[in-house]
Structure 1
Amino acid sequence: MHSKIPSIFSISAAALISIGLAPLALSADSAKFMVIDGHNDLPWQYHERYGNRLAPLDVADRHEDMKPPLHTDIPRLREGGVGAQFWSVYVPIAAYGGAPGDAALVLDQMDVVRRLVERHSDDLALAMTAADVRRAASEGKIGSLMGIEGGHAIENSLGTLRSLYAAGARYMTLTHSKGLAWADSATDAPRHDGLTEFGESVVREMNRLGMLVDLSHVTAATMHDTLDTVTAPVIFSHSSARGLNDHPRNVPDDVLERMPKNGGVVMVTFVPGYISQERRDWDLARTGQRASLAAMHPYDEGLQDDLLAEWEAAHPKPEATLSQVADHIDHIRKVAGVEHIGLGGDFDGISSVVQGLEDVSTYPALFDELKRRGYSDADCEAIAGGNVLRALEANEKEALRLQQERLAEDPPEDGVGAV
């Protein structure tokens, strides 16, 4: 059964502006709109490069020449028209189910975001609500929200979920690359055919809190189970259209078709392997070649590397392009409508980039392309940030309603169950 969402959750792009839910264009340049990006991994870069220390990397300065590349700094965020950013507070998951201590590691990442905002308070402002995002924009600051990437962070505990919300998390991606005891991941063997009963409890509690449910990284069955459970709009913080690229991380058309009723937003990502089918095919072929070489020469990694380099020279890597990103936006508009599109670049979480979308300064180039394809200013403003701001506010309103109806759920008597 599909969830029943009030019709205000499916509202025209022009109406978003008239009721004050879409950000205004930042300048007279119609290609530059206020972006609210769904996913950026800069906090994890601080973890990987500097052990969560901020002093070695001052993002008030430009850093496009760093090696390995850094996609994000404040000057380039300004050039890209980024008015708010969901910073990913991410912890890897190595095996099915996660591990004890994941919650503490996520809190460390949240601390990175809070210290980053404090250190750069002239440019960044911590945001917990849609109103905070608007207030930051009115002050000329970049609203800084936090999104948990992977439900392993809650360690199978509704209490931990509530505590992470209280600490500032405003969305949670239900899974990351491995499945959980309560939800299936798109890139792991399915075990539950979607959500378990406890997984439904997690989703219901997220709605009660006002935390956006993020369906990037989950299986199609988990997407559908979640849409059957929620009473507020979902997001896909960094996914694209499976109708153009058959990657399990992308959103299939039968899920896109449910977005108008739910009010959800698919935030198109700039991961080359999710955008270009040719690139995905090449990636799969390279993985197979690597495995074959490892089987043929198991004790000579140097030879494996040399032979793989020869294969790559004979099979040049296809590049994903900005035009192909726009194709994904076109496809989602055709199936779901322009009211259900956003942007989630995944900058600083990707090792290669789309040509024309190399860092956070490049969003205006995408809007130039959309304008060439006939998108209006209202369409571009909705895609840039108006749609996700509307979804965030709808979640906040639904949380107020649910909190009048019921208290926080107790832990289940039998835990999440063995698998």
Structure 2
Amino acid sequence: MQLFAPSRLALAAAFLLASPLVAQEAPVDPATATANAALEVAPIFDGHNDVPNQLRARVANQINAFDFEDTTHTGEAHPQGAVMQTDLARLRQGKVGAQFWSVYVPSNPDEPEAVQEVIEQIDVTKRLIARYPDALRFATTADQVERAMADGKVASLLGMEGGHSIGSSLGVLRQLHALGARYMTLTHNSNTPWADAGTDNPVHGGLSAFGMDVVREMNRLGMLVDLSHVSEATMMDALDVAKAPVIFSHSGARAVNGHPRNVPDSVLARLPENGGIVMVVALPGFLNEARRQWFAKRSAEEARLKALFQGQPETVTTTMAAWDKANPEPATTIKHMADHIDHIRKVAGVESIGIGGDFDGMPSGPVGFEDVRGYPLLFAELAKRGYSQAELEMIASRNALRVMRAAEAYAAQVASEPPIETLINPPAKPE
């Protein structure tokens, strides 16, 4: 008889401990650990996502049967098979804690139609938020954003993209603010009757007198002035007038990529005094200068072929396919996005940086950041470049929250001031 014989359980445990086949948890590299720690305490506060426009384009805002938990099936009903880049599952993977949903409508000279459409976009976005109370929570203040994030919800805010949405009326602006809109991009791709866009021929030389009153009234309301899409002159005029921090909800640095949608150094240099932030975009054409140059060459070649082969679209298509094969699109990666963040930190400081992906408003993000899951990889890249956890927290959400609080504080300070009543076309005085 053997005394103290080991039990079968003990022998099995000893075998498992000794076995080289037991999976060991892979060590996390220091940069990833720093990024994860930052996003755990300061989740991403993203400045721009175009899901509301996808709802209009794909399902005509009929969302009662729309599954936002998982949108990876949405390519089946899309003419080009494009899958949406955002859903609740992927927002969780991307560590997104707050999101400005863009209630965008296309630039439209019929301003009353634009006003109707933006109200419809506010409606569908609020309905989407209400359908998922376990995951999303409507927010209009910085405190509400922080509470939602602390409760594990994605704080959901509304941002209007394009000043045409107010129909050149400060009264409409006030009512859209009352419906919950907390920023407005002063233009989209085209000029408004009171502000020049960065991708249109200048008409006003920046902001008109009425446009300056739009900025003043937004400040009075506590509504963030968004300068993505506007011309450099409009940026400068807005900074001259603004009493609260401005934002660029989805832009890059023009010194890194020369696209007019990006922010020039002349404006970046003024941001510290204003307290505003550039929420860096993920759109490849705004990030990678080689990609921008490639696209210009491709567009020129396509225009040349259409001029040479008028009435022969098959020839143009075949010849362009050969050009594309011989001239592949330069790859855009997370490193390009990090380059923009580096430049803004160099010129304006880390306090001037945020994140504004523009997902579901572009064909794809960079390699490794094709949808909203990619934020942790971007922050790991920044950590590899020497950004501290405190700096990563600022970029992720603390800077955006500070800007919101500053806008709210200014609005509280001037709460006793009457609404601005300027008309864009004052009636002629009687003779």
Q: Is 1:73–2:87 an aligned residue pair?
A: yes
CA offset at residue 193 of structure 1? 0.9
Please name the residue that 2:292 is paired with.
280
Please tell me whether residue 93 in structure 1 is matched to residue 107 in structure 2. Answer: yes
Q: Which residue of 2 is the match for residue 35 of structure 1?
A: 44
Question: Alpha-carbon deviation of 1:320?
Answer: 1.0
Aligned to 1:19: none
Between 1 and 2, higher relative CO (CA 8 Å, sep ≥ 6) is seen in 1
Question: CA offsets per residue over residues 206-240 of structure 1, 9 Å max, x none?
Answer: 00000000000000000000000000000000000
Q: Does 1:330 align with 2:346?
A: no
Residue 64 of structure 2 is matched in structure 1 by 55
Contact 1:152 1:175 (8 Å CA) reproduced: yes
Return closer, same or farther for 1:219/1:87 CA change in 2, 3 Å cut-off: same
Counterpart residue number, 1:249: 261
Letter aligned with residue 260 of structure 1 = P
The separation in 2 between residues aligned to 1:141 and 1:254, in whole angstroms, is: 38
Match of 1:13 in 2: none
Matched, 1:313 2:325: yes
Secondary structure of residue in 2 paired with 1:147 = strand
Q: Is the 8 A contact 1:272 1:320 kept in 2?
A: yes
- 1:361-406 superposed Cα distances (whole Å, 9 cap, x missing partner): 11000110111111011100100011011001100010111222x2
RMSD: 1.8
Give 1:12-27 correspondences, 5 Å limit: none
Mapped partners of 1:28, 1:221: distance in 2? 39
Relative to structure 2, which stretch is displaced further, 210-219 or 300-309?
A: 300-309
Q: Please say if residues 98 and 180 of structure 1, whose CA atoms lie closer than 8 Å, have aligned partners that are also in contact.
A: no
Aligned letter for 2:134?
D
- Residue by residue over 1:292-331, the C-alpha shift from the partner in whole angstroms, topping out at 9 and shown as x without a partner, is 1221122122222121111111111112110111010000
Would you say 1:296 and 2:329 are equivalent positions? no
- CA–CA separation in structure 2 for the residues paired with 1:82 and 1:132: 15
Q: Secondary structure at the match of 1:143?
A: strand
- 1:9 maps to which residue? none
Alignment partner, residue 173 of structure 1? 185
Partner-residue secondary structure (3-state), 2:373: coil
C-alpha contact (below 8 Å) 1:240/1:274 kept by paired residues: yes
Match of 2:381, as an amino acid? E
Structure 2 residue 144 is matched with structure 1 residue 132: yes
Q: TM-score, normalised by structure 1?
A: 0.90
Deviation at 1:31, TM superposition (A): 5.9
Aligned-partner Cα distance in 2 for 1:252–1:331: 11
Query: Is residue 2:426 matched to residue 1:412?
Result: no
2-side partners of 1:194 and 1:313: how far apart? Answer: 42
**Equivalent residue letter for 1:163:** Q
- So what's the TM-score if we normalise by structure 2? 0.87
Residue range with higher mean Cα deviation, 219-228 or 85-94: 85-94
Q: CA deviation at 1:416?
A: 10
Higher Rg: 2
Paired residues, what number? 390
Question: C-alpha separation between the residues in 1 aligned to 2:276 and 2:202?
Answer: 24
Q: Identity over the aligned pairs, expressed in percent? A: 50
- 2:216 alignment counterpart: 204
Which sits farther off after the overlay, 78-87 or 309-318? Answer: 309-318
Tell me, in whole angstroms, the C-alpha distance in 1 between the residues paired with 2:243 and 2:368. Answer: 38
Measure the CA separation in 1 of the matches of 2:47 and 2:34.
19
Q: In the TM superposition, what whole-angstrom CA distance separates every residue of 1:44-92 from its partner, at most 9, and x where no partner exists?
A: 1111010011134311125277331211000110111100000000001
Contact 1:237–1:344 (CA under 8 A) maintained in structure 2: yes
User: Do the aligned partners of 1:81 and 1:363 also contact (CA within 8 Å) in 2?
Assistant: yes
Higher mean C-alpha deviation, range 353-362 or range 190-199: 353-362
For the pair 1:228 / 2:237, whether they are aligned, the reply is no
Structure 1 window deviating more from structure 2 (347-356 vs 217-226): it is: 347-356
Native 8 Å contact 1:321 1:356 kept in 2: yes
Q: Which residue of 1 aligns with 2:54?
A: 45
Q: In 2, Cα distance between the equivalents of 1:309 and 1:325?
A: 29
Q: Secondary structure at the match of 1:146?
A: strand
Distance in 1 separating the partners of 2:38 and 2:215: 38
Mapped pair 1:187 → 2:199: yes
Tell me, yes or no, if structure 1 residue 390 matches structure 2 residue 402: yes
Unaligned runs of 5+ in 1: 1-24
